[in-house]
Structure 1
Amino acid sequence: MLGIANKIEASIKTAQNREGFVKNLRESAFYAAGGQYNVMVMNLSQGYEDHLNGVKAYGSATYDGVVYGIWVFEDGTFKNVGDGGYINWAFRGWYDRPNNGGLVEFHRP
């Protein structure tokens, strides 16, 4: 799992814009975890509720003063109660998104 931190650090150095930065964090974490776990990236200044199980790694990264949390985990739920869009959050893995809203239900692969 240590490789995840190195991939995230590399993505911080190469992002050109905030949306690209968030997407790059998501992809870097997903592939660093071997594509075997779910990934959530969230702007920590936004409201959220997390109930994640089997967290394998957590880290944070800052883009232009905005701090993002990065979780790599097995399953659970995550609810974004703030603003959406790729500038605030991104996720990848195995999930359902009821009503395409702020709630994401993650499953194991």
Structure 2
Amino acid sequence: MLNYGYTILLSATNQEVAAKGYLTQLGVHHHSVRNCFNLSSDLMEPFRQFVDSKVLERIDYDFDEYVKLELVDVLNHEVTYNNKTFILKNALSQYIHDCFSFLNSQRDAIGKVEFKNEV
């Protein structure tokens, strides 16, 4: 389940990185010659927690199409990024934009990715 969820997250990250004109192969912490998605693997790290959480909720379930759809739907869950509420897919897009701005010295910091505070 984790591998399936991470693949979905990696795919969404690859789309964002490529859409912004960057190469997915050249990473910061990930730098394997066998990994074509080193940069995306770096950038998706703060978002793994949402896949982990969904897998923990479904740990006793069969890994069937229902669970697969729930893992895809993680991209639509509300999260907090930089003290604002986004769906995960939009938070990922904003986070990647902010990371590239930071790397280009156009920004001093990058926001924190968290579960949405529900009271």
Common fold by TM > 0.5: no
TM-score band by shorter chain is under 0.3
If you compute each CA radius of gyration, which structure gives the higher value, 1 or 2? 2
Report the TM-score, using the length of structure 1 for normalisation. Answer: 0.25
Structure with the higher fraction of residues in strand conformation: 1
Structure with the higher fraction of residues in helix conformation: 2
Report the TM-score, using the length of structure 2 for normalisation. Answer: 0.24
